[in-house]
Amino acid sequence: MGSLLVRNAQVLATMDDGDTEILDGGLFAVDGFIAAVGTTDELPHDADEVFDAKGHVVLPGLINTHHHFYQTLTRAIPGAQDVGLFDWLRTLYPIWARMTPDDVRIATRLALCELALSGCTTSSDHQYLFPNGSRLDDQIDGASGVGVRFHAARGSMSLGESAGGLPPDSVVEEEQAILADTQRVIEAFHDPAPGAMTRIVVAPCSPFSVTPEIMEASAELARIHGVHLHTHVAETYDEERFCIETFGRRPVELMEDLGWVGNDVWYAHGIFIDEAEIDRMAAAGTGVAHCPSSNMRLASGIAPVRSYVDAGVRLGLGVDGSASNDGSHMIAETRQAMLLARLDAAPSLRGGPLLTARETLRIATRGSAAVLGRPDLGALEVGRCADFIAISLDRLEYAGALHDPVAAVVFAAPVRVDHSYVHGRPIVKDGAIVGVDVPELIANHNESAIRLVGGAPPQLRVPNGPASG
Ligand SMILES: [Zn+2]
């Protein structure tokens, strides 16, 4: 691979333990790993590839810890726009049941392009239904060529409507088939090495769509193979009621009973969690993917972010979606996280100190890396991977905000990155994805989306004239 020199950044925020920010900063990487970080003067003067970051703020790449890429095909569906989680799911399950392997590939690629342009260099995805012969392999295939590191969570649903679960029977799988396929994809794709581009995660969907037995069996399988565990926990009031009425346990208590705690486990959402549960999560090392936009969109609730931070819970950021966000924009999500935590800090709500821009960026970088079990990611320091983003400061959105360019990334209107590197390789150059025909991808994606929903192509409405299209 060779060496990469980044120099002349207006400011480079390392997110190291001392929160070091370097004016006129840069870094030097060899074979994708950072070998030096410092001012331009302190670094080597040449390399196989040189990136001049003059006039840019440079940050560690943002890391997305929760998503459902396939849902990019069902954004803004009219029947699912204005309802809470359970009705939203009931509307969408039959549409998702029509997905083909090609749809999964296209949606994965599209979501990763959208993420990359918004500053994401590593993403997890939680795929929990596999209709019409689709497999996790289709996601791995769709992700190839974009260059974002990918933690593919092999999800599952086994508890259909007829057995008291929420999803229709047509989208659930047999438990033995789930476990066998999960083992297959771990053996085929999981790379445990530092700098890995692909990892597999074991991820039954939620307490209301799988049985306790498969939760336990999944944890056992994951631990045999040393892979991480992920599921939705304590997302909504309805789910809390379901757990109490069905199992006589609160969501986190249920997870504790099933062995779903520890530093190899992270929950999506974690809203209906009390202070004692937060302390137990901190002690056990259990992580959380905070998804503020989705939580607002579905009127789910406000996660206790300040309590998580203060208790030392591993806390990362997730865009969730894409039918419940409906955007995959990591900088926008970072901003939402800061703003929602501030709303929660209102004296009439939870109160407490305001979450700062840097605390929020830390959640989206170091925090998310910790949640995914990636000590090789999340900061720009020697030994970690050269995953970083560069944003030009010469733009409308940042005019008047150059007093603090790092904070401006969070406070100002969310922008797309100008450059992004993963493992020392450029994946975004001058605001464009490297090596992907994006217009063609959008056209194919819209075609899949329209077919899935069963509608005719939309007609453009022209004021004072006939519909055209
Ligand atoms: Zn989710």
Cβ-based burial of 408 (10 A; exposed 0-12, middle 13-18, buried ≥19): buried
Return the pLDDT at 415: 98
As a whole number, mean pLDDT of residues 96-108 equals 97
CA of 5 to the centre of ligand 1 (A): 38
First to last CA, the chain: 47
- Of 109, 67, 58, 34, residue with least CA distance to 372: 67
Å from CA of 203 to ligand 1 middle: 11
Q: Are 60 and 362 in contact (CB under 8 A)?
A: no
CA of 466 to the centre of ligand 1 (A): 41
211-237 pLDDT per residue, tens = 999 999 999 999 999 999 999 999 999
Average pLDDT over residues 49-60: 98
- The residues, any chain, with a CB within 8 Å of residue 421's CB and separated by 6 or more, are 4, 51, 61, 121, 386, 387, 388, 389, 427
256-282 pLDDT, tens digit each: 999 999 999 999 999 999 999 999 999
Between CA 152 and CA 143 the distance in angstroms is 10
Res 232: pLDDT? 96
Measured in Å, residue 127 CA sits from the centre of ligand 1 at 9
Tokens 């806390």 belong to residue: 315
CA of 438 to the centre of ligand 1 (A): 26
pLDDT the model gives residue 458: 52
| Lowest model confidence (mean pLDDT) among 189-203, 223-237, 338-352, 444-458 | 444-458
In this predicted structure, the answer to whether residue 390 has a pLDDT above a threshold of 50 is yes
Ligand 1 mean position, distance from CA 232 (Å):
6
Single pTM value for the model: 0.96
Using pLDDT thresholds of 50, 70 and 90, give the confidence band for residue 85: confident
Q: Dihedral through CA 140, CA 141, CA 147, CA 151, nearest 10?
A: -10
Report how far ligand 1's centroid is from the alpha carbon of 366 (Å): 21
Distance 123 CA to ligand 1 centre (A): 13
Strands (E), 331-418: 388-392
Helix (H, G, I), strand (E, B) or coil at 158: coil
Q: What is the 3 state secondary structure string of 322-339? A: CCCCCCCCHHHHHHHHHH
Q: Are 340 and 296 in contact (CB under 8 A)?
A: yes
Look at phi and psi of residue 27 and say left if phi exceeds 0, alpha if psi is from -120 to 50, else beta: beta
- Under a CB-based contact definition with an 8 Å cutoff, are residues 355 and 345 in contact? yes
Centre of ligand 1 from the C-alpha of residue 52, in Å = 38
Mean residue pLDDT of the chain comes to 95
Distance of CA 170 from the midpoint of ligand 1 (Å): 20
Calculate how far, in angstroms, residue 352's C-alpha sits from the geometric centre of ligand 1.
28
- CA 237 distance to own-chain centroid: 23
Ion ligand 1, residues whose Cβ is below 5 A away: 268, 320
401 CA → ligand 1 middle, Å: 34
CA of 389 to the centre of ligand 1 (A): 26
Per-residue confidence (pLDDT) for residue 468, from 0 to 100: 40
Cα–ligand 1 centroid distance for 229 (angstroms): 14
In angstroms, what is the span from residue 270 Cα to ligand 1's centroid?
11
pLDDT at 84: 87
**Residue 268 CA, ligand 1 centroid: distance in Å:** 6
Residue 399 CA, ligand 1 centroid: distance in Å: 36
Residue 406, pLDDT above cutoff 60 = yes
* Ligand 1 midpoint to CA 146 (Å): 22
Token pair 């040393």 is found at 226
Q: What's residue 307's pLDDT?
A: 96
